[in-house]
Amino acid sequence: MYGNDFPADDTSGGLLGEVEAAETALREAAERGRRGAAGVNPAAYFAEVIAADQKVEPRDWMPEAYRATLIRQIAQHAHSEIIGMQPEGNWITRAPSLRRKAILLAKVQDEAGHGLYLYAAAETLGVSRDELVDLLLAGRQKYSSIFNYPTLSWADMGTIGWLVDGAAIVNQVPLCRCSYGPYARAMIRICKEESFHQRQGYEILHTLAHGTPAQREMAQDSVNRWWYPSLAMFGPPDTDSTHSAQSMDWKIKRFSNDELRQRFVDMCVGQAEVLGLALPDPALCWNEERGAYDFTQPDYGELMQVIKGAGPCNRQRMEHRRRAHREGAWVRAAAAAYAAKQANQKEQANQKEKAA
């Protein structure tokens, strides 16, 4: 089906293997049960659980700052999945074939699912999905800056899958080992699906890069536009990153922004070669001493502007999200009425049983 040079196995640079290892570790830890007993000193117990690389669960005591950090991070992640449907949703009706359309539809639906798993994970920390959505709509919580860039060509569907989902995987695989159980478990499933997303994007780009000169040019133009915004997805450099050190101590985060960015660059170079596309960085070169590629950093000034709301599509994305929320009000009302009706029937059945 593909040219001979299309790589046959996983293109996520071995990250899928790490997801599977994290999944096995989670299962084994659950079978072993936890050491120590909760009770006398909850703070000491929390510290013990973190030190032993075990999972903090919703019923456990946890420092308020740990809870707040997780709520902020999981909510931002959930919002990103939901807003992230827009740039690609924009191309579903214009996909070049039925096969491409079916794949893109499945991918965008997966992102909706990711949003739902993550809102559910956040709810275990004592906030409701409604509250989080309201915070997003009021502009008080963020989503990933990458989704404020426009999708100008079909090739962008390929590049988003390859680079944006690729960067997401690099960021998220270590979260499969996050100290908070519900988040770690959600991430395992998400990462497996992200690996399909990365793969489908890679295959679109591979096809275009080996197509007509115009298709090739479209693919290269797309990679040129998305490369630096993808590097910026890892956040500000370590020297400016405010939340990192505490999150590392709590084992929410396992690697720094710069470490993950480097890992992503190192993974992409070989893949770009197979695609036959250039990464738009003349300074990119192998550094023998470091055993890693040197590369040009993204423009962090631009990242800050986009985070503050001045990116090319911020306003459009939020307007669309608010409209979708308004237009979906009747669905939420119908679901709530149905749930109330079910609860009522159950209650009546219980009463009858008691009376009998």
Residues contributing to the site for Fe ion (CB under 5 A)? 81, 111, 114, 165, 194, 197
Residue whose CB is less far from Fe ion, 146 or 209: 146
CB-based contact 233:166 (threshold 8 Å): no
- The alpha carbon of residue 125 and the mean position of all alpha carbons in its chain are separated, in whole angstroms, by 19
Distance, in Å, from the CA atom of 102 to the CA atom of 117, rounded to the nearest integer, reads 23
Residue whose CB is less far from Fe ion, 23 or 111: 111
Residue whose CB is less far from Fe ion, 54 or 271: 271
CB-based contact 280:227 (threshold 8 Å): yes
Residue whose CB is less far from Fe ion, 11 or 54: 11
CB-based contact 111:177 (threshold 8 Å): no
Least separation in angstroms between residue 268's CB and Fe ion is 16
CB-based contact 232:302 (threshold 8 Å): yes
As beta bridge partners, residue 56 has 180
CB-based contact 169:262 (threshold 8 Å): no
Residue whose CB is less far from Fe ion, 46 or 162: 162
Which of helix, strand or coil describes residue 267?
helix
Least separation in angstroms between residue 195's CB and Fe ion is 9
Least separation in angstroms between residue 222's CB and Fe ion is 17
Least separation in angstroms between residue 128's CB and Fe ion is 22
Least separation in angstroms between residue 63's CB and Fe ion is 29
Listing DSSP states for 96-161 in one string gives SSHHHHHHHHHHHHHHHHHHHHHHHHHHTTT--HHHHHHHHHTT-S---GGGGS---STHHHHHII
Paired tokens of 134: 């309201």
Least separation in angstroms between residue 210's CB and Fe ion is 24
Least separation in angstroms between residue 338's CB and Fe ion is 28
Residue whose CB is less far from Fe ion, 23 or 194: 194
Least separation in angstroms between residue 186's CB and Fe ion is 11
As beta bridge partners, residue 265 has none
Query: Nearest 5°: CA angle at 225, between 260 and 312?
Result: 100
Residue whose CB is less far from Fe ion, 185 or 197: 197
Residue whose CB is less far from Fe ion, 111 or 123: 111
Distance, in Å, from the CA atom of 111 to the CA atom of 88, rounded to the nearest integer, reads 10
Which of helix, strand or coil describes residue 294?
strand
